[in-house]
Each structure stands twice: as C-alpha cells, then as structure tokens.
C-alpha cells in the first residue's frame, strides 16, 4: 500500500511539474532580486592591544590606598583580563553609542533618520560587538546598514560609515579613559595636597617637641652620649681599681700616717667621688650634656618615640610630595590610553545579505512548500486514495 501511495504522489508531482518549476524558480528569483535591493550590511574590524598593566609605585601607592580606604579612581589592582572587560563594557555603553550617533551624524542618514533617539541608541549598540581572546587582545566589530534600493556609490558610503563608526568607538573609548584618568589625578592631587599640609603641621609640632625634650634633658644624641658616659665610667672604674690595689700594697709596706699612703688614700677618695658623679650624670658640675644613668632608659624610650614619629612624618611627606608631583604630571599630559594594533578596516563587500545562501534557502523552502501544497491538494481531491480489494 505504501508503494502505491508513493507512486500516486509522484504521478501528482509529475502532472504538476510545470507548476513546481515555475513556483520554485519564481520564489528563488524573488529572493535573489530581494538580496540585491535589501539593505546591505558592511562589517569593519579593528584590534586593540590589551590595556597596559597599571604599575604600582611601591610603598607610596600602598600607603595612599590605606589612607583613602582604597577609594581612589584607578585601574590599578585590577587584573589585565578584568581591565580588558572594563574596556569592553565602556565600548558597549550608552555613552559610546551617543558619541557614535553625534560624530557620525547618523540622524542625517536615510536608513537611521526615521528612528526615535532611544531606538537609534539601541540599534547602534547592537551594531557594535567586542571579543576578548585569551591573550587579552580586544577585537572590535561595527556593522553599518545601507537603505533599500541603493547601489554603487551609496553602498561604498555605507562601507565607509562602518569604518567611521569603528574609528569613533575607539576615539570615544580613549576620550572616556583620558577623562577618567584626569579626574582620578585631580582627586588624588587634591587629596595629596591636603594630606601634605596636615603632615607638615604634624612634623613642625613633633620637631618642636623633640627640640624642647633635648633642651630640657640635655640630649643631643642619646646613644652617643650614653656610650661616652659608659666609657668615662669604665675609665674611672679602672683607675679606681688600680689605685685601691696600690693603696692596699702601700699599707703593707708603710704606716697609715705615711705620705705615700695618704696620697694614695686621697687619690682613691677622689676617684670614688668622680665615679659616683659619673653614675649621676657626669664628672664635672658644669657638664651640660651629662645624663644620670638611672634616667637613661626612660629618656631613651621617650626620645626614640619622638624621633620615630619625626622620621615617619618625614617619610610620609616625601611620599605625598612624590604622589602630588605624579598627579600633577598625569593631569597635565594628554597621552592616548588606547593602543591600536589593526586600524578599522574598510570593507569591500557586504557581509549580508548573502545572495548565494539566500538563493539556496529560497530554493529549498519553495520546493518544500509547493510539494506539501500539491500533496494536500491531491489528498483533498481524493487523488491519493488507495482502492481496497474486495
């Protein structure tokens, strides 16, 4: 029965072969003609180097990030892949689309003139695509559509428009990044100047405290003074020990009333007094820079604290002045933030519509439609009915 059905179906198709050929050729021809008059799409391609890795300035940037809570505007600290993603997000942003509309004067173009602004923005965003490969390279694609029924020079203008759109996207990206960098430099500069002023005041205050402390406690360089006192005390102690030994030896040979013993006794007493004075801060009463040994630990601790604070403030000021100088330079210079590997191409042929593909699809679709139509028509008329044997 199945063979009979197929045979009858083929007979229907054979009987309507002219209709089939006419319909398929007509449908395919219409599709081919449409492919010539339909809006042509031109694709421009460009490639950009990965964003430069933001290099830190060592302790300076770390210190400033701590001071600001990490809120300073910068791409630093973001990995290269994430920086590339930031580039892609900017490219696909509304700001860039608006820039393309204005710079390329899309509202004056026939194919875009009837679109409302919001719809035009969406259309432009759809016309832009970004791909980031594993190495971080950024590939930019922009598509421009021609109006219906345009040929020759008009299509060349559309091809040029796709290239102009790509150039404008790159320009807009660079402009946004430059403005962002300058803004970040301004904020950082203002912060650095304010902090530097505060730390100058702190440094002046700690220097005054240190000066008063040194004057009050007779300190120039506590470490050197302590060494000097220790050497002085050691020398006196050595002389005292020798004198005491000589006195003991003399007492064995002479009486206590002898001149030799009395002279040695006087020497020993004098050395003992000097040793005691050295313990209390110096041999001579008019020594302005002698420090009592008992007070040295506490004075050394306080002096070290003041001296440490002074050095910290000095280092912070150096850091802040360096940052201020860098921010001032960054704010003043006008360097491109985007490096182009391949400039936007000028397409020679449209990427759509594909005439060959459209013709093939039209041929297949029209063949399917006419065959199904003829089969259904024959079934309704009963031409495919299979006779039943009694």
What pLDDT, in 10s, does the model give residues 133-153? 988 999 999 999 998 888 888
What pLDDT, in 10s, does the model give residues 244-263? 888 888 888 788 888 888 88
Bridge partners (DSSP) of residue 143 are: 43
What pLDDT, in 10s, does the model give residues 163-177? 999 999 999 999 998
What's the rounded mean pLDDT across residues 265-271? Answer: 88
What pLDDT is stored for residue 232 in this prediction?
66
In 3D, which of 90, 98, 50, 48 has the Cα closest to residue 176? 90
CB-based contact 324:192 (threshold 8 Å): yes
Show the CA angle centred on residue 214, arms to residues 213 and 219, nearest 5°. Answer: 135
Q: With b meaning 16 or more CB within 10 Å and e meaning fewer, what string describes 94-103?
A: eebbebbbee
- Give the global pTM: 0.61
In 3D, which of 211, 251, 227, 190 has the Cα closest to residue 67? 190
Q: How many residues belong to the chain? A: 390
Distance, in Å, from the CA atom of 384 to the CA atom of 11, rounded to the nearest integer, reads 10
Question: Cis ω on the peptide bond leading into residue 353 (within 30° of 0)?
Answer: yes
Mean pLDDT over each residue of the chain, to the nearest integer: 82
Please name the residues in contact with 22: beta carbons below 8 A apart, sequence gap of 6 or more. Answer: none
Q: With b meaning 16 or more CB within 10 Å and e meaning fewer, what string describes 173-209?
A: bbbbbbeebbebbebbbebbbebbeebeebbeebeee
Distance, in Å, from the CA atom of 28 to the CA atom of 39, rounded to the nearest integer, reads 18
CB-based contact 79:180 (threshold 8 Å): no
DSSP state of 70: T
Helices and strands (H and E) in the chain: how many: 11, 4
What pLDDT, in 10s, does the model give residues 38-51? 989 999 999 999 88
| C-alpha neighbours within 13 Å on the C-beta side of residue 125 | 15
What pLDDT, in 10s, does the model give residues 48-74? 998 876 544 444 444 444 444 444 344
User: Is residue 101 scored above 80 in pLDDT?
Assistant: yes
CB-based contact 121:98 (threshold 8 Å): yes
pLDDT tier for residue 192 given thresholds of 50, 70 and 90? confident
223 membership: H or E segment, kind and range: helix 222-253
Q: Which residue has the tokens 């000028």?
A: 346
DSSP state of 225: H
DSSP class per residue in 303-341:
HHHHHHHHHHHHHHHHHHHHHHHHHHHHHH----S--EE
Q: What percentage of the chain has pLDDT greater than the value 70?
A: 80
Q: Both tokens of residue 157? A: 């203008």
User: Is residue 160 scored above 80 in pLDDT?
Assistant: yes
Please name the residues in contact with 115: beta carbons below 8 A apart, sequence gap of 6 or more. Answer: 123
Longest Cα pair distance anywhere in the chain, in angstroms?
171
Distance, in Å, from the CA atom of 390 to the CA atom of 387, rounded to the nearest integer, reads 10
30: left (phi over 0), alpha (psi -120 to 50) or beta: alpha
What pLDDT is stored for residue 76 in this prediction?
47
What's the rounded mean pLDDT across residues 316-324? Answer: 85
Sign of CA dihedral 54, 55, 60, 66: positive
How far does CA 63 lie from the centroid of its chain? 17
Q: Both tokens of residue 312? A: 């910290």
Which class for 6: exposed (0-12), middle (13-18), buried (19 or more C-beta within 10 A)? exposed
127: left (phi over 0), alpha (psi -120 to 50) or beta: alpha
User: Is residue 197 scored above 80 in pLDDT?
Assistant: yes
How far does CA 247 lie from the centroid of its chain? 82
DSSP state of 352: B
């Amino acid at each position: 029965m199945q063979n009979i059905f197929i045979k009858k179906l083929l007979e229907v198709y054979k009987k309507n072969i002219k209709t089939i050929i006419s319909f398929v050729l007509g449908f395919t021809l219409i599709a081919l003609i449409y492919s010539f008059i339909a809006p042509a799409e031109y694709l421009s391609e460009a490639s950009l180097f990965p964003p430069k890795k933001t290099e830190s300035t060592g302790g300076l940037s770390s210190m400033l990030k701590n001071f600001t809570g990490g809120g300073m505007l910068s791409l630093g600290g973001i990995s290269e892949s994430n920086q590339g993603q930031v580039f892609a997000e900017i490219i696909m942003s509304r700001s860039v689309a608006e820039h393309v509309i204005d710079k390329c004067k899309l509202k004056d173009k026939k194919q875009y003139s009837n679109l409302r602004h919001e719809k035009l923005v969406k259309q432009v965003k759809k016309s832009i695509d970004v791909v980031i490969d594993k190495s971080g390279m950024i590939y930019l694609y922009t598509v421009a559509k021609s109006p219906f029924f345009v040929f020759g020079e008009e299509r060349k203008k559309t091809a040029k428009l796709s290239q102009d759109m790509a150039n404008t996207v790159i320009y807009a990206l660079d402009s946004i990044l430059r403005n962002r960098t300058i803004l970040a430099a301004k904020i950082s500069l203002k912060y650095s100047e304010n902090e530097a002023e505060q730390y100058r005041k702190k440094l002046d205050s700690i220097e005054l405290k240190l000066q008063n402390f040194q004057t009050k406690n007779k300190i120039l360089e506590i470490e050197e003074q302590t060494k000097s006192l220790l050497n002085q005390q050691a020398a006196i102690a050595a002389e005292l020990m020798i004198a005491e030994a000589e006195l003991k030896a003399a007492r064995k040979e002479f009486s206590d009333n002898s001149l030799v013993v009395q002279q040695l006794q006087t020497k020993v007493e004098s050395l003992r007094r000097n040793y005691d004075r050295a313990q209390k801060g110096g041999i001579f009463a008019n020594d302005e820079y002698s420090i009592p040994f008992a007070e040295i630990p506490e004075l050394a601790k306080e002096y070290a604290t003041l001296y440490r604070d002074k050095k910290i403030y000095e280092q912070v000021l150096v850091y802040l002045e360096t940052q201020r100088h860098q921010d001032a330079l960054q704010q003043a210079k006008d360097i491109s933030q985007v490096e182009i590997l391949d400039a936007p191409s000028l397409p020679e042929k449209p990427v759509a519509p594909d005439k060959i593909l459209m013709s093939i699809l039209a041929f297949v679709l029209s063949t399917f439609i006419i065959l199904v139509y003829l089969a259904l028509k024959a079934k309704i008329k009963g031409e495919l009915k299979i006779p039943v044997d009694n």
